[in-house]
C-alpha cells in the first residue's frame, strides 16, 4: 500500500467514527504532532528557540504582517500572477 492509498484508507475509517472515538483519535494525532515538533525544537540552539518564541509573542501581540499582504508584495516584486 502506497502513501496515497494509506491516507485514503485512514480518511475512510475516520469518517465512520462516532464523536467520542473521533476526539480520541484527534488527540492522539495531535500528541504525535506535538512530539514531532518538540523533537525539532530540541535540536535548536537557545538563540534559535528565543527567536521563535519572540516571533510567536509578536504574532500574539498583533505585530505580524498578514500572509495575504506578504504574498501580494512578493508577487508584485517578482512579477508573479
Round to whole Å and give the CA distance between 23 and 16: 13
- Closest to 55 in 3D by CA, of 44, 29, 36: 44
Give the pLDDT confidence score for residue 23 in this predicted structure. 93
> What digits encode the pLDDT tens for the residues 3-56?
999 999 999 999 999 999 999 999 998 888 877 667 777 888 999 989 999 999
3-class SS of residue 63: coil
What pTM did the predictor assign?
0.42
Contact 64, 58 (CB under 8 A): yes
Amino acid at each position: 500500500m502506497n502513501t496515497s492509498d494509506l491516507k485514503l484508507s485512514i480518511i475512510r475509517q475516520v469518517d465512520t467514527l462516532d464523536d467520542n472515538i473521533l476526539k480520541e483519535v484527534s488527540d492522539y494525532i495531535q500528541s504525535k504532532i506535538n512530539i514531532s515538533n518538540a523533537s525539532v525544537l530540541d535540536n535548536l540552539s537557545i538563540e534559535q528557540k528565543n527567536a521563535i518564541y519572540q516571533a510567536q509573542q509578536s504574532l500574539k501581540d498583533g505585530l505580524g504582517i498578514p500572509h495575504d499582504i506578504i504574498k501580494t508584495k512578493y508577487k508584485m516584486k517578482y512579477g508573479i500572477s
